[in-house]
Chains A and B, each alone.
Chain A
């Protein structure tokens, strides 16, 4: 790790100001950033911690019935505090990494990083959630722009994520054996307006919606409705842990399991 300055913001305004300087980098839970810095692969001059901003921490339910999660809320807190309101989302949070990761990692940090194998992007896209920043609201469908790429501008901070609560939902993760990130993770959520299916881990462009499955499940929310469908392997990742074809196959398997397990 190279030397850096450390700024601990107390308000969103302070954080935005601190992030305006050149080579400043926002620090969420640091679960990706800090290992990268230790390897000397990242060298920000200023690290701006978002973890002590009270208005960015915690869970509530707003008047519209949406579950609102502060951007600096840890996975462990989501697992605990969201369980009563949106069990599928809480279950997803409770299986990210290990206890140490869950007690440091934050939802805002995960979404800002947009690792193609992370779990939260599937929940956000699968729920049609809204990513609220210091500057604007971004719909999930407009937020994820590819591997490690998002709609966030330089210095923009995720302050909250708002999840509409579905009738039924479930997340199925088939883990990459070493990292235990998602080799393929599928989030299925059934809303009054239709079913959303979001897939993480599989595609080289990161999280995506499986439109054919959504259409089939919106007509008939049963695993059997997917029988005739197949995901093409073209845009899937091939690496040490699985071929594109394997990942494409797993997308269907995990989607069926998520539908069967949704409640």
Chain B
């Protein structure tokens, strides 16, 4: 029977009460006494040399308090990349300074080179126009196309980087010769060139920041739209502004979606802090939607050639990829990790493949920075692999399902060390595949296809068997691989005298539902009501430390830290109970919220123990401190490896090229599930984003580096009528072997597994319709692109 509370219950999301009734408190909602407004002055050209900036006219305008330019930040640090990648030849990546405001050159449309602070937003905006009018920028040829960027040594995004190359990475370089040999010997080689299209994150809430400075104490406060306030604090203090860490508090209040784009520190955050210090007044900035399009870190943007060497009966012998990955104009914080250790390491997929080699060149261009976006590297790997395997099956006239069955790892092969550096701990990929086929009624496909044909439509079915690596860890390993941060997390569990509980977690919820799900875990473990538990997040002054939420790590890493802290609470409770019950500590058991002496009816409730901890009248004070509060840090042994099988059925209108998704089926293995409703919601959202990438979302720059898709008039977001009702299942669970909750992470799965299933389905439909010349169409599969492919 389904539980109605605690782990496994479909507890309703408590945070939705405030979100759905307009009582959320987002950064832009927070009014500060004496606040003033910042407006950024942004480049309208993609590439240019700043000749002069005359701010005198703007400075004389009504309400203007201060004007900053790049010159004001020359003496402070830059916003660093979080991961050092070494090229194949051992040289470190090129790492140009990313200043608070552009200095000397502007490098993409939207690059801020000045900022105006004024009493009102309108005044600041008027003055920003005056600054722009007083600025002379010598326009330089824009570097947009990656291949051209690498080939043209003369035209440079950064003057000190001659070939616009950040790094040329081989993974694993020692595999290279063996892969080349295996590919050469393979009876069949499938080659596929594909583009993983650039995406704009489009969080519902735009980025916003408020800087405050107290001249009386020297304390700074930054309220900002962040997925990980502690990282922002570390970057602002240690790298950019040099503020002592104990003098800055970073608060990320309610945040309306991020999808990765709010992991990173952005220049506006440093700007509002510097301006607040200069003026002694709170300085606020909120992006408008155009600024969001132009300056939020974009996602994906890979151009890949993948080769799959196979036997004639479809056994994969070797995989080789060559990729150009766009990092944009500057290195965003995770931009070097995303295409490398979150991408190359996944290139064996869920398959037993003896030889894999990945080459990836990261390229600077005059476009917005590119960084992790829901899935981050893993969707790119999965798409390349699942498209290529489908193509291989087609070329060999094999059933794509059978080809996957032949190559999927078997349950008795774990733990499995891949040729690209990961150790998969557990999984049952055949079980999720079987489940998806059953749920989608693949057996009934031909009958449905006949019906579609009768209605003049082409029906197709596409499969994707995916795996991902979440909860990136452990720190000592990622440190060896170039990470400049640790990837553990922390939690404090504070029990009050009356037995209610606060958990301060390093995870940050910006839509995920942590406040509900983490409370379920606590309630289950301590045997208390969910309503007695409060989850506190997003404030560096309250939380011991944390690395925030991204990479499906919240429950697997932050939840594990919380679980460890709960263990400490229970251990201390046992000591208190032993004293109160006059029993040996070893005889105390804790179950369903009650400490009891084994084999007796003597017991104390959790509430009684909590009370005793704070009113220690009958308490072992000589050996135990009063109070009931524990902190734990948790550094995982390994990634977690969610996996699954997605099946998509589409209809293509041969007259218009329009693709309609008829059904979408997901059989996922997320390990143990804490709240099925929340997990289903995460899958729904992830699949919606994946379908968005596959069918509609497209970020286009023209040859001058102008963003053509800079508004919703041209950038298509998936809408309700683009999407089907999903069938999702997570019953084929193999609990993670190395974290205490046995959880794997579900936030990115949908966005990782779905794009190849959609594209495979469309190609299948065209082939069944006789258009066997169409072996691939690059995403997004808009009606125009599908129609054009059909005419070829």
Contacts and interface: CB of A to CB of B under 8 A. Distances in A.
Given A177-B782, A178-B713, A253 B655 contact: yes
A249 interface: yes
Contacts of B708: 240
B512 interface: no
Nearest to B715: A178
Contact of B787 (A39, A177, A246): A246
Nearest to B713: A179
Interface in A32-89: 39-40
B196 to A, nearest CB: 18
A191 interface: no
A240 B700 contact: yes
Contacts of B787: 246, 249
Interface string A123-144: 0000000000000000000000
Given A177-B696, A179-B713, A243 B788 contact: yes
B147 interface: no
B404 interface: no
A249 B654 CA distance: 12
A242 interface: yes
Contacts of A253: 655-656
A250 B653 CA distance: 12
A221 B626 CA distance: 90
Contact of A246 (B700, B709, B715, B788): B788
Interface in A236-262: 240-243, 246, 249-250, 253
A174 interface: yes
Contacts of A178: 696, 709, 712-717
B10 interface: no
Nearest to A253: B655
A240 B656 contact: no
B783 to A, nearest CB: 8
Contacts of A174: 656, 658, 783
Contacts of A242: 783-784
B187 to A, nearest CB: 40
Nearest to B695: A177
Contacts of A240: 698, 700, 708-709, 714
A39 B696 CA distance: 25
B120 to A, nearest CB: 12
Interface in A147-198: 174, 177-179
Looking at A177, A241, A242, the one whose CB has the most chain B CB atoms below 10 A away is A177
A177 B716 contact: yes
A107 B657 CA distance: 31
Interface string B776-792: 00000011100110000
Given A178-B696, A250-B656, 13 more contacts: A39-B290, A174-B656, A174-B783, A177-B696, A178-B712, A178-B716, A179-B713, A240-B714, A241-B782, A241-B784, A242-B784, A246-B787, A253-B656
27 contacts: A39-B290, A174-B656, A174-B658, A177-B696, A177-B716, A177-B782, A178-B696, A178-B709, A178-B713, A178-B714, A178-B716, A178-B717, A179-B712, A179-B714, A240-B698, A240-B700, A240-B708, A240-B714, A241-B714, A241-B782, A243-B784, A243-B788, A246-B657, A246-B784, A246-B788, A253-B655, A253-B656
Interface of B: 125, 129, 290, 655-658, 696, 698, 700, 708-709, 712-717, 782-784, 787-788
Interface of A: 39-40, 174, 177-179, 240-243, 246, 249-250, 253
Counting from the closest, the 6 A-B pairs by CB-CB distance are: A178-B716, A242-B784, A177-B716, A179-B713, A253-B655, A246-B784
